Chains A and B, each alone.
Chain A
């Protein structure tokens, strides 16, 4: 009997030991709730983004936020220490205009039979007038359609971008643009600000057979939408209070959404690239009494003062105009085009000089390498490097309405950081680490053009490789 007891006891101990060790082993870095939440980057040059540069400092990240930043700060014991010797820490870069995570819009067939009935026809039908609401889906929110499996998210992140404005495309009112952080476990983790701004396009979506088929038609249409929304804003409460007095108000989703946006003074993105378009956008913004932000802005060099006078921010498209790749070599390059191509990169400098607040966006460039390269062109053309940095960080956050939470390295702000081995605008600089919402990503050198590097399949964090100079984990 004693043997049996001994055996059972041993078995029990053995089982407990197994379970205990299993618990140890099933403690991978990626299990829910088990990701490291405390980091400290030490001995680094810290460009806080709010004007202060710390030549030898520490940044402490705790539970997704920046806990502390300074020359000497207390590091929590459980923090993973990353030696930042020779490295520079910047606020994570923001790309203020992308379609990351959003599936590509298929061009709608305008040849579908038009019926001309007065009803909302967001796409595919031939609109017979503004009442058919052509290309109008302002209720769409990018956050709802955002897909985390877009490979570009990783590409951007590896290039130092922690945040992006992602905009739905297609139509005159394609929907609401969302500010997303470029990492998360679940889709919802990515969304920073679901309803950030309302982009508008002047594209004549009717395509000759449907309304509108001209620029003036699109503008007239947008004007009518604002009229209708303002009307709704006025009419709805009166109707609600006196419903037996008036004919019932028809349901128009556009009016509902836009009137709310106007009431909340949400920013509206107006497209304008050359000087004529920019001045026109400023004028229309005044007329429509909207809180406008211009996107495009590549001829800002010509009209910077006019933009400054209206205090209108600009999202500058970094895809500088270039000669087409497979162009006719004998085709005439007009002087206008040549001048535009030559001067466009000087627009940010001109805007800065006139006091216009602006941010950069990728505008169709294929990745962070090109984005930063084109930012370098702007710097060569006269933009101060710290102004360039602000256009990717603090000013961008401000225009997008998230500057309380990000855009600089300060206690309490979201831990979006990029750590490089040199000046962020340096040609040979490499991104070493990126933090998104306090999640740490190590960026490894890729031999060929940027391929998404899947951090999960690499060595788990905390491996000896990360501990330089014999620094142990924790102090």
Chain B
């Protein structure tokens, strides 16, 4: 009987593997939702007390104090709580299977995060519980030129193909400084150290790659020209997966997000980009950005930084928590990011620190995790503020989100509740029971097997390999969360 129920449950679409910490995404009865009785922090046009938001088909249809819900709408009474735009994490390594870095070679632009998105990564849920709705999922910082990156919405429960943010330009990760030059560890004897070992070489690696990319672009243009002119017997140039993303950078079709720390290396990259005629979209970490804020502002690049991390590496020793505020003062579009699945659970607190360090206003602080990262990722037409026409990506907090006491109650993406704290709490007993039931079932099956084996006089077979269950993500460069490398297939 239990099996029948189980099979029925499968048939009813519980296909998203769900852990105790997770929940099924909650489809609204219809596509009309009214959130009422809330303090709306719109970010773009002030705070609205006793406000409401009407959502239709996943978009914000109305915002104000006087919004009426049509019949049949699902009503969420916010009871005076605070609604903000969903938080956008501009530096994330969640939902990646099989390694955050293709760290073997100094230019690994052929690798693509979009190929290895893991829609079952619990970090997606953890971050939803912190109010995050969009993440810029990046390759790690092991190489001067790293892999291609992708912006996702944290649509927990959807397959990987439905995570990428539609229409967001793809990105690529660069890294400058200690990590790509591997100054903090060495290979064992017998293995050649990888070039580059200095910041000098990091620059050269990037320039060389773009010189190759320029030539590659030219080769293809020549070929296409000749072909168009009627030449039949042509051998096309080889496709090079490493160089194609770099050509896209040259053509402005792919954003460059560069991990960097020292002021001089930031200026170096601006120079190199100018040399090749492209722009850096964001400087990531950019912990010394405050020293050259004017130059960064002039280059048009955004700065995506930590709230208060410092001193873990030499290049982080001059990091200051005033970085975000000082760069903002000088006209840089600044976001505060997590680089870590745990940090992403309290980005609201991290943004608030810029009020203490540097005196940003509450709204400017909130922008650091909403509108600004949206602008940096080129998606501010869709998300980043509570404005009519934008996606209904929202977070509901029980206190002012810039207070240390605020706790996320609900997180919505495209007008659908993807995280509900109360529902999470309510589901815990049932999930615990399911777990205990399955454990009991396994135990009795194991005892059956023991009896069987005894009666057959069989000896224990050789020990079997651990099963191919899904595993947590592997260690990231800045995080101390342990994990398992990708599946053994």
Contact = CB atoms under 8 A, between A and B. Distances in A.
- A complexed with B: yes
A275 B465 contact: no
Nearest to B459: A449
Nearest to B432: A335
B469 interface: yes
A126 B190 CA distance: 11
B241 interface: yes
B275 interface: no
Given A210-B104, A215-B99, A280-B115, A235 B461 contact: no
A274 B468 CA distance: 8
Interface in B1-59: 3, 6-7, 10, 15, 17-20
A435 to B, nearest CB: 28
Interface in B454-487: 458-470, 486-487
Contacts of B241: 130, 220, 223-224, 227
A129 B467 CA distance: 31
Contact of A217 (B18, B102, B188, B466): B102
B469 A337 contact: yes
B119 A276 contact: yes
Residue from A213, A215, A303 with most neighbouring chain B CB atoms (10 Å): A215
Interface in A371-399: 381-382
B190 A224 contact: no
A214 B110 contact: no
A346 B469 contact: no
Interface string B430-458: 01001100110110001000000000001
A9 interface: no
B118 interface: yes
B388 interface: no
A410 to B, nearest CB: 35
A216 B99 contact: yes
A273 B463 contact: no
A279 B120 CA distance: 12
Nearest to A207: B104
Nearest to A214: B99
A211 interface: yes
A466 interface: no
Interface in A183-217: 201-204, 206, 208-217
A334 interface: yes
Interface string A71-113: 0000000000000000000000000000000000000000111
B161 interface: yes
A323 B97 contact: no
Interface string A382-423: 100000000000000000000000000000000000000000
B302 interface: no
B98 A204 contact: yes
Interface stretch (B231-239, B355-363, B417-425): B231-239
Contact of A273 (B10, B236, B468): B468
Interface string B92-115: 000011111111110010111101
Nearest to A126: B191
A336 B15 contact: no
A324 B461 CA distance: 12
Given A231-B239, A298-B468, A213 B99 contact: yes
Interface residues of B, number: 73
Contacts of B15: 275, 302-303
Contacts of A37: none
A432 interface: no
Contacts of B73: none
Interface string A312-352: 00000001111111100000011111111111001000100
Tell me what chain B mostly uses at the interface: helix, strand, loop, or mixed.
Answer: loop
Contacts of A456: none
A98 to B, nearest CB: 16
A216 B112 contact: yes
A11 B98 CA distance: 83
Contact of B116 (A219, A322, A366): A219
A238 interface: yes
B192 interface: yes
Contact of A279 (B6, B10, B160): B160
Contacts of B96: 216
A413 B29 CA distance: 57
B438 A338 contact: yes
A169 B127 CA distance: 39
B112 A220 contact: yes
Interface stretch (A23-31, A140-148, A173-181, A240-248): A240-248
Interface string B172-198: 000000000000000110111000000
Contact of B470 (A204, A271, A340): A340
Given A279-B160, A283-B161, A111 B19 contact: no
B236 A231 contact: yes
A381 B3 contact: yes
Given A224-B110, A234-B236, A303-B15, A216 B98 contact: yes
Contact of A219 (B115, B435, B458): B115
A128 interface: yes
A238 B234 contact: yes
Nearest to B437: A338
A272 interface: yes
A463 B37 CA distance: 93
Residue from A206, A339, A449 with most neighbouring chain B CB atoms (10 Å): A339
Nearest to A363: B468
A250 B246 CA distance: 25
Contacts of B470: 274, 276, 336, 340
A301 interface: yes
Contacts of B462: 366
Contact of B102 (A113, A216, A321, A334): A216
A208 B463 CA distance: 28
Contact of A129 (B105, B188, B463): B105
Contact of A234 (B139, B235, B469): B235
A96 B191 CA distance: 39
A379 to B, nearest CB: 12
A335 B431 contact: yes
Contacts of B458: 449
B17 A340 contact: yes
Nearest to A332: B435
Contact of A336 (B187, B234, B469, B487): B469
B439 A338 contact: yes
A324 B235 contact: no
B147 interface: yes
Given A334-B19, A339-B17, A449-B458, 18 more contacts: A126-B192, A203-B488, A209-B104, A212-B111, A213-B99, A213-B101, A215-B99, A216-B99, A223-B110, A224-B242, A274-B469, A274-B470, A275-B15, A276-B159, A321-B469, A325-B460, A341-B469, A364-B464
12 contacts: A214-B100, A216-B115, A224-B110, A239-B235, A275-B159, A283-B161, A296-B489, A301-B10, A321-B467, A340-B467, A343-B6, A381-B3
> Closest 5 A-B residue pairs measured CB to CB?
A215-B98, A321-B467, A214-B99, A271-B489, A217-B102
